[in-house]
Amino acid sequence: MSQSPITVGVGAALMDLLLEEKDDFLNRMGAAKGGMTLVDAPAIQSAMQAASAPVKSAPGGSASNTLVGIGNLGGRARMIGRVGKDDLAEHFRAGLGRAGVEDRLRVSDAAGTGHVLSVVTPDAQRTMFTFLGASLELCPADIGDADVSDAALVHLEGYLLFNRPVVERVLELARKHGARVALDMGSFQVVEAAREYLDELFAQRRIDILMANEDEARAYTGLGDSESLEIFAGKVDTAVVKRGKEGALIAQGSSRLDVLAHVVDALDTTGAGDLWASGFLYGLNHGLTLESSANLASKIGSEVVQIMGAVIPSEGWNRVHSYREGLVRV
């Protein structure tokens, strides 16, 4: 029996530090709600010391979250990134292993493993403060033919756009080995900072599948969700605008879908977009129709927003597996 297709993810290997706080905590930190701010490790330590609630931890990082979701669905996934020589790295590796994700992590001698303070406010929005640490040292030489040669799909997180040499290396290998390329835009700050590079990638048709939330789409186009979708549809084969509890808009060729969300009481949106992507990419890679792939994505998204962090417990995955059994295949 042939093995299932493999998704290779490239991105920052980060541990998530989860904190529940009110809006005034963000105001004191001068942060824009829902965004991502790059900081140094002492800034995260200072913020945690000022917190009124205990901090919880879990493996994270956008590409990693998506790969862990694919692994928990029973798909094959491989993570490429960099960690330090510390306890955070061991926790991160363990999180990949529990989901069956293959570890192709490189180790940095000096830099510590990156970590993210994710502040969750009462409206379930998450605002991130990111110390990239060892992940900044990921370089083109870290990624070789053996990492990509058997991939059906290569998934890039938006934050990787700040490391153009690595993106170029990954795209070169994906083209060489016939793998499709998916990009999740990551955050509206990434879109604003990397706009010119995104324009280049789109003009050269180097991205096959694009996923953006409504804020990221607006940051790129200056337009609403539907109008943004049409612009993206002219640049990639498959375009997605994720709209949270409003569902998702999807374009592929002449097809247009407006997929409803599975509405639940949300506790925390950390990792929601990443886990949505896991269901969508798994579906596209494993013979589900476009609509079924999106519905599977929505189901997974509904599970992750009901917990703190991006690690869905086994009972949640059991519900996802049961739901998947009823979906339509191509």
In tens, the pLDDT along 93-118 reads 999 999 999 999 999 998 899 999 98
**Starting from the edge strand earliest in sequence, which strands make up the sheet with 6-10, in order?**
102-107, 76-83, 6-10, 151-157, 180-184, 209-213, 238-242, 248-252, 255-259
* Domain boundaries defined on the chain: 6-12+61-112+133-324
Read off the pLDDT of each residue in 241-260 and give the average, rounded to a whole number: 96
In tens, the pLDDT along 43-99 reads 998 989 988 888 888 888 999 999 999 999 999 999 999 999 999 999 999 999 999
Read off the pLDDT of each residue in 144-154 and give the average, rounded to a whole number: 97
Q: Report the alpha-carbon distance of residue 180 to residue 182 in Å, rounded.
A: 7
**Cα–Cα distances in Å, from 26 out to 37, 124, 293, 307?**
12, 14, 36, 21
Share of residues in the chain with pLDDT > 90 (%): 78
Of the listed ranges 34-48, 94-108, 313-327, the least confidently predicted one is 34-48
Q: Report the alpha-carbon distance of residue 244 to residue 116 in Å, rounded.
A: 22
Q: Report the alpha-carbon distance of residue 171 to residue 173 in Å, rounded.
A: 5
Radius of gyration of the chain (CA): 18
Could you please state the CATH topology (level 3) that the domain comprising 6-12+61-112+133-324 is classified under: UDP-N-acetylmuramoyl-L-alanine:D-glutamate ligase (3.40.1190)
Read off the pLDDT of each residue in 262-285 and give the average, rounded to a whole number: 93
Largest Cα–Cα separation, the chain? 57
